[in-house]
């Protein structure tokens, strides 16, 4: 899969790229490109944003800046999905992550400042997406959230024997994980559930399924 992230802060992604599972799939299952709007802006001095018409605080990412970035990268409007990260978008959930992880190519547009000129969302993007009902100062964190969530669904992202497979299948069913515990078996009187210490794999598996089902129902 190829994901192109358009941003003004490409270096913000350096940490994420070093982490599993992203680091595992980079260069194999995932080709991640970080593209800076400033490198293709048609405006002088690397300008990408402007004051909003009608006044108001903050700057708005310009439509011509984003159109130029897409033209320079794809030679015109891309044929694949273009996500604009905005608090007004469809809320990201595991079902949308699953859907996006099946795409061959994906473009993610992030904005800084007060956000996008609305024409970017209306005409250049196909999917406005929010990562939650709160407002962040830019689209970089949402883009990283989205890339991380998608990357862990790509083949080979989750290591064998780490317990990730159970997580994986719970997620596939739209559910949540069961609770995890590790040593010590008791701490300040807080005990690990007896079933996990029983060594009875069938009982443990049944308990985990039930916990996962109960969490999902909640
Ligand atoms: N940009 C600012 N806040 C956001 C959010 N909650 N989701 C996506 N993009 C954003």
Show Cβ contacts of residue 93 under 8 Å, excluding neighbours closer than 6 positions.
none
Closest residue by CA, ligand 1 atom 4: 87
Closest residue by CA, ligand 1 atom 7: 130
Give residue 161's pLDDT band: very low, low, confident or very high (50, 70, 90). Answer: very low
Q: How far apart are CA 6 and CA 4, in angstroms?
A: 6
What CATH number should be reported for the domain whose range is 173-217?
1.10.1270.20
Which residues approach ligand 1 with their CB closer than 6 A?
85-87, 130-132, 134-136, 139, 142
Query: Helix H segments across the chain?
Result: 14-18, 22-25, 63-74, 94-101, 118-119, 140-151, 164-172, 194-197, 201-217
State which CATH number among 3.40.50.620, 3.40.1280.10, 1.20.1560.10, 3.10.310.30 fits the domain covering 2-151: 3.40.1280.10
Give residue 34's pLDDT band: very low, low, confident or very high (50, 70, 90). Answer: very high
Please count the other Cβ atoms lying within 10 Å of the Cβ belonging to residue 118: 12
Reported pTM: 0.89
Q: Give residue 139's pLDDT.
A: 96
For residue 92, report the distance from its CA to the centre of ligand 1, in Å: 10
Domain ranges in the chain are: 2-151, 173-217
Same fold, 2-151 and 173-217: no
- Arithmetic mean of pLDDT, 23-35: 95
């Amino acid at each position: 899969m190829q994901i192109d992230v358009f941003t003004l802060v490409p270096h913000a992604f350096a940490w994420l790229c070093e982490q599993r599972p992203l680091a595992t799939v980079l260069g194999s299952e995932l080709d991640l490109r970080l593209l800076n709007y400033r490198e293709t802006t048609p405006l002088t001095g690397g300008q990408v944003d402007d004051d909003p018409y009608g006044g108001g605080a903050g700057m708005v990412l310009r439509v011509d800046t984003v159109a130029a970035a897409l033209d320079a990268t794809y030679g015109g409007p891309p044929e694949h999905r273009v996500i604009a990260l905005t608090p007004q978008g469809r809320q990201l959930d595991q079902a949308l992550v699953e859907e996006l992880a099946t795409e061959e190519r994906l473009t993610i547009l992030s904005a800084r400042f007060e956000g996008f000129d609305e024409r970017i969302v209306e005409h250049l993007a196909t999917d406005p997406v929010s990562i939650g009902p709160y407002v962040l100062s830019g689209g970089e964190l949402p883009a990283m959230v989205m890339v991380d969530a998608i990357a862990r669904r790509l083949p080979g992202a989750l290591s064998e024997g780490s317990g990730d497979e159970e997580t994986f299948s719970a997620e596939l069913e739209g559910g949540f994980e069961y609770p995890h515990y590790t040593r010590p078996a008791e701490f300040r009187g807080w005990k690990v559930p007896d079933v996990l210490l029983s060594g009875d794999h069938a009982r443990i598996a049944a308990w985990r399924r039930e916990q996962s089902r109960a969490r999902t129902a909640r």
